[in-house]
Chain A
Amino acid sequence: MTLSYPLIAGLLFGLYFSLVGIGLNLVFGVMRIVNLAHGDFLMLGAFVAFGVYTVMGLDPLVGVPIAFVLFWIAGLLFYWLLVPRLQRARDPEMLSFILFFGFSQVIEAITIIIFGTSERSIPSRELAASLGQLWARLFGGDADSGPFVILGESFPASWVIAAAVSIIAIGLVYLYLYRTRLGTLTRAVMSRRDEAVATGINVDRVSAAAFGIGLGLAAVAGVFAPFMFGSFTPAFGVDATVTAFVVVVLGSLGNPLGTALGGIVYGVCYMLVQTYLSSWADLLPYVLLIAILLLRPSGLLGRRARIA
């Protein structure tokens, strides 16, 4: 096997991992809240894709806007329910860790009670099948997209689509943060919360928006989870949370481009280890996480250290 396969597969997975991490990054950056339920929203996003495909009989890609809007609204609700009360506590960062752990347990338990513990999957070719048909009708050619060929190696079309959606999503987050008024306020809250309050920024409104977007992005990443990981269960939220953390810590907090870089570094490392040292691949995310936390706690693109 040549080196180009793990490198390109790593890049595709890496872009997707960036999408997995970016919502977590936004929420932590703005609110100093550790959303341990992040992976569970990903899992719920996977259920949205599953529902769109099996119940409504539509292309799972339709799940992307549905999941985003649904969880954006849910995020606003949960924000007002949980966060202001939490921020009044003595040590919100630590307590948020525990609070959202409880939340993650509740989500997982309710999902199991409703859907059971069985594994679910969606046939890989169904993703964006409608786009393929549209393409065929407009320009002629084969409706069945088949595997993508890049540099002589073939990859599942679903990987390429997930990576493309991830690039678009990260670009939109970048535009939101750097080209809109609310985004500018968001960055102000990220860099100095107390000064932002002092200048009259409505921190709660900014934070609620960021929380909604964070959950929405997690759900969008979840739509692709059945294709990237083969299948999903209600219990897969925990692993997804750890992965998201690795990606966020690898990049740096409060910097969407950092998360993109972190995701790519992680994805490429993951694919390289999987290809050449497969029995050690499980160890990689954890060792990488500890190493980066100890050696470069501010992340690859970070400026400030955050040591006690």
Chain B
Amino acid sequence: MPDTVRHYLLIAVPLLAVMALLPFGYNNHLLLFNFVIFFILAQGVNVIYGFTGYLPFGYVGFFGAGAYGFAVMVMHLNTPAWIAVLAAGLIAVLLGLLLTPLLRLSGAYFSIANLAAALAVLHLIANPALESITKGPYGVALSGTFNPRLAYNAALLILALTLGIVVFLKNSNFGLSLQAVREDPFSAAMAGINVVKMRVIAWLASALVAGLAGGTFAWYVSVFYPDNVFSADFSIFAIVFALFGGVATICGPLIGVIVLYGIYNMIGFTTPQYFQLIYGLLIMVLVLFLPAGLVSLATRRGWHVP
């Protein structure tokens, strides 16, 4: 059995099955939905940061653009929800295309520019001058398409797609080339890799899954404000979860979401500042002592972690 199929069957399928069955035995469906969303976003960050080294501090821009893409389709064109979700993905890819020049920047400059881009999109959408299109800062209400059960299943489908992308990257020449580009773009280019094309494809793939996730989020919650769907928490949580588990692996980001988002839901809701303190300290300890994430505890011992 090729590794691609094996990894998908052993990691993705059990996770999807558990997430599909949990709603029948557990009542807090919103929490389960958020878990699925963060699985998608953490893996989306993994695609772009883990495999290409670009840290997308404004990753939420794609998510929010997707949510508003969904809202605009439903409000103005009265499309069915699933078409609006696809449109959300498309909008995010278009935004990604628009932002491809940012990939020229390296390291922290990319992250800062990406953050600025996400904030620019937020302020554009929340601008009262565009109220006729986006409802500006007053938020949207999409009662017509409200159907949390379908939206949850759609999110699972997107998670399946995202995991497929990561499994493919982990096991293909394409993913290997990307990691070569991350380590040393010049040598990779010398070895005949089309550096720019590779980076752009990874960038658009991660934009696509975030946009689709944003679309289903809009579908699920149906009432939201620009500040909700562009909350910097989405980028930051997704990055921290992915890093905590370990990027450029399939399991790492998933473990990160399960552990950290689990902790968050135990202590975060009642006293957010204590959670903020704990995760801030956790990030610092992680960077200083375990920069390759939890999975590096295993890989240091020579165990292979997919």
**For chain A residues 90-145, which have a beta carbon within 8 Å of chain B?**
90-91, 93-99, 101-110, 112-113
Please pick, from A82, A91, A242, the residue contacting B288 in the complex, using a CB distance under 8 A.
Answer: A82
Bound together, the chains give a CA A110 to CA B273 distance in angstroms of 8
Give bound CA distance, A160 to B280, whole Å: 37
Interface majority SS (helix, strand, loop, mixed), chain A: helix
Interface residues, chain A, CB within 8 Å of chain B? 34, 82, 85-86, 89-91, 93-99, 101-110, 112-113, 238, 242, 245-246, 249, 279-280, 282-283, 285-287, 289-290, 293-294, 297, 306-308
* Other-chain residue from A82, A96, A104, A307 in contact with B280 (beta carbon distance below 8 A): A104
Q: Is the CB of A286 within 8 A of B117?
A: yes
B291 within 8 Å of A (CB atoms): yes
Does B193 interact with chain A (Cβ within 8 Å)?
A: no
| Interface residue count on the B side (C-beta < 8 Å) | 43
Q: A112–B55 contact, CB under 8 A?
A: no
Q: Would you list the 7 A-B pairs with minimal beta carbon distance, nearest first?
A: A102-B283, A105-B280, A308-B106, A109-B277, A106-B280, A286-B120, A109-B276
Contacts of A113 in B (CB 8 A): 273-274, 277
Contacts of A287 in B (CB 8 A): 116, 120
B-side contacts of A90, CB under 8 Å = 291
Partner of A290, one of B53, B106, B113, B185: B113
Residues of B within 8 A of A (CB): 53, 55, 57, 101-102, 104-109, 111-113, 115-117, 119-120, 123-124, 127-129, 185, 232, 236, 239, 243, 273-274, 276-277, 279-284, 286-288, 291
Whether the Cβ atoms of A285 and B127 lie closer than 8 Å is no
Give the residues in chain A near B185, CB-CB below 8 Å.
308
Known: A99-B283, A103-B280, A294-B102. A242 touches B119 (CB 8 A): yes
Most B Cβ at <10 Å: residue of A82, A283, A290? A290
* Known contacts A279-B127, A283-B123, A290-B117, A95 near B291 by CB under 8 Å: yes
User: Contacts of A102 on B, CB cut-off 8 Å?
Assistant: 279-284, 286-287
Given contacts A34-B112, A102-B280, 20 further A-B contacts (CB under 8 A): A34-B108, A97-B107, A98-B287, A102-B283, A105-B277, A109-B277, A112-B273, A113-B274, A238-B232, A242-B119, A279-B127, A286-B116, A286-B119, A286-B123, A289-B112, A290-B116, A293-B112, A294-B102, A308-B106, A308-B185
Nearest CB in chain B to that of A107: its residue? B280
Nearest Cβ in chain A — how far from B242, in angstroms? 11
Taken together as a complex, chains A and B put the C-alpha atoms of A107 and B274 apart, in Å, by 12
Question: What's the minimum C-beta distance from A290 to chain B, rounded to whole angstroms?
Answer: 5
Q: Tell me which of A99, A245, A249, A285 contacts B287 (CB under 8 A).
A: A99
Query: Do A97 and B276 form a contact, CB below 8 Å, given A102-B287, A282-B123, A307-B104?
Result: no
- Whether the Cβ atoms of B243 and A279 lie closer than 8 Å is no
The answer on a CB contact under 8 Å between A285 and B116 is yes
- Which residues of the other chain, A, contact B287 by a CB distance below 8 angstroms? 86, 89, 95, 98-99, 102
Residues of chain B contacted by A107 (CB below 8 angstroms): 280
Query: Would you call B243 and A98 a contact (CB within 8 A)?
Result: yes
Measured between beta carbons, the chain A residues less than 8 angstroms from B232 are: 238
Contacts A89-B291, A290-B117 given: A109-B280 contact, CB under 8 Å?
yes
B283 near A289 with CB under 8 A, answer no
